[in-house]
């Protein structure tokens, strides 16, 4: 027996107008990084998880650098992250 875990096509169809409107808004504003949409996402996500701040980053290296800069560790300590 094959059990479908998730129907992404059906989920997309249900949200298609909202998704396409959001994508077009970003494209029209040409703010692909940072900008008002990212600020709004950070605020909504922080509220959702119950913290004061959330920071959206573009990749794992940026997240590691932000973590390294915000946590006072001695310079001799290595920061290992899974790849």
Residue 19 lies in a domain: no
Better pLDDT: 28 or 67: 28
Q: What are 49's two structure tokens? A: 């998880």
Residue 10 lies in a domain: no
Residue 3 lies in a domain: no
Residue 49 lies in a domain: yes
| CA distances for 74 relative to 30, 60, 63, 78, 80, angstroms | 40, 21, 19, 9, 14
Count: domains in the chain = 1
The structure's pTM equals 0.63
Range of the domain at 39: 34-83
Q: How many CB atoms lie within 10 A of CB 64?
A: 14
The string of pLDDT tens digits covering residues 8-60 is: 999 999 999 999 999 999 899 888 888 888 899 999 999 999 999 999 998 88
Residue 15 lies in a domain: no
């Amino acid at each position: 027996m094959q059990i479908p875990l998730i129907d992404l096509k059906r989920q997309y169809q249900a949200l298609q107008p909202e998704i396409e409107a959001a994508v077009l808004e970003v494209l029209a504003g040409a703010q692909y990084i940072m900008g008002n949409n990212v600020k709004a996402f950070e605020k909504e996500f922080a509220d959702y998880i119950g913290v004061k701040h959330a920071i959206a980053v573009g990749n794992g290296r940026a997240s590691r650098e932000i973590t390294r800069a915000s946590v006072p560790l001695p310079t001799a300590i290595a920061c290992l992250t899974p790849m």
